[in-house]
Amino acid sequence: MLSRFLFITAFLIYVTTTQAELRATGDLGVVIERATGSVLLVNTSQHKILNEVDNLGDLSHASVVFSRDQRYAYVFGRDGGLSKIDLLKDQIDKRIIQAGNSIGGAISQDGSLIAVSNYTPGGVKIFSSKTLELLLEIPADYAEGKRSKVVGLVDAPGQRFVFSLYDAGEIWLVDVKDIHQPVIQRFKNIGRQPYDALLSPDGRYYIAGLFGDNGMALLDLWQPEQGVKRILADYGKQDEKLPVYKMPHLEGWAVAGNLMFAPAIGRHEVLVIDTQQWKQVAAIPVLGQPVFVMARPDGRQIWVNYAFPDNRFIEVIDVKAMKKIRKLEPGKAVLHMEFTPRGEQVWVSVRDEDKVVVYETEQFNPVAVLPAQKPSGIFFTSRAYKLGL
């Protein structure tokens, strides 16, 4: 009788312990700790740090995509490292060094491929998402003996990737339905020095920002045969060129209805663009040079952070009123923001104060502060179901 009681007790303890270790992946996220080459695994609802994974190399410009089952995070390091992290086991599943200097990556529409954009050597490499086996290499050769840095790599519908060539002023559209016979379309003379790019939330438009020219370059992926169109070509043409303290990032595409909000290069403005006509309809004055301009998931608010020396602040724009409604001061060196899937909260990395601050987005009150070592990018697994992220 005693032995049976002990067996049942042990079994119940085992079941309870096992159940306590169960973890749903949809509520998870990753915080990059750039100075230490590590990431924090977090629970977004509980505001809880679950674990830390280190030995991830140079994360000074790291980005992350997620497998479609949200179990794996693929971390792209500046040192050419590609790391696959198991979010359920809190450990590296596999890590490779695939280039000398890389700048980001994307996961294919069906989740089977991981593409990485490289500065050194210039080009894109495509890997199996399961094994990280190299399946395809696309050198960014644009002239004899010349190879370009690649920027603005995104996934697109139709099992395609799109990216820009910084040195060549080109956009390449790559169809990888058959990974052994890729179809590459090259669009030349799009403008000088495309520095970053974005994909519209519906996957139709690819837009590259231009550092060497006025305006942006737009490619309609529904009608690529029409070529690349220059939009906002007259913006800033008559203005004095100002120093740029940090290049703005475009991957935080901000769309509300038929309006797109974009950071102006080097200027203290957020541009408002009519996406029906692709024309600027307004410019909202802001505190400093915008870096990220991000929309709350419902599109009602736009959150903006800034380059030095204004990088301790965030400003919030109300889309209906088309004006700023709040100024927040999370701390020194605000680098990134990430909304929870439905936008009731936003997580903010504050690098120089070693913390992440969580705000609720109605009254703008801080609801949590988490310690982190020099945090930068914040990425939630809900990105697994969004195009271009």
Query: At a CB cut-off of 8 Å and minimum separation 6, what does 144 contact?
Result: none
CA distance 18 to 376: 34
pLDDT at 233: 80
- Asked if 124 and 108 touch (Cβ cutoff 8 Å), the reply is no
Q: Kindly tell me if the per-residue pLDDT of 62 is higher than 60.
A: yes
Question: What's the predicted TM-score (pTM) here?
Answer: 0.91
- Min mean pLDDT across 55-64, 99-108, 236-245, 261-270 is at 236-245
Domain map (residue ranges) of the chain: 98-246, 252-329
- Asked if 206 and 231 touch (Cβ cutoff 8 Å), the reply is no
pLDDT at 215: 87
What is the CATH number assigned to the segment(s) 252-329?
2.40.10.480
CA distance 17 to 253: 42
Q: Kindly tell me if the per-residue pLDDT of 176 is higher than 50.
A: yes
Best CA proximity match to 193, nearest among 229, 228, 168: 168
3-class secondary-structure state, position 12 = helix
Task: Report the half-sphere exposure of 245 (CA within 13 A, side-chain side).
Answer: 12
Same fold flag, 98-246 and 252-329: no
Q: Kindly tell me if the per-residue pLDDT of 19 is higher than 70.
A: no
Mean pLDDT of the chain: 91
Q: What is the pLDDT of residues 85-114, one digit of tens each?
A: 999 999 999 999 999 999 899 999 999 999
Name the fold adopted by 98-246. Answer: Methylamine Dehydrogenase; Chain H (2.130.10)
Best CA proximity match to 261, nearest among 347, 170, 200, 189: 200
**361-377 average pLDDT score:** 97
- Residue by residue, DSSP assigns 239-266 as SPP---SS----SS-EEETTEEEEEPTT
* DSSP run (H or E) holding 15: helix 2-21
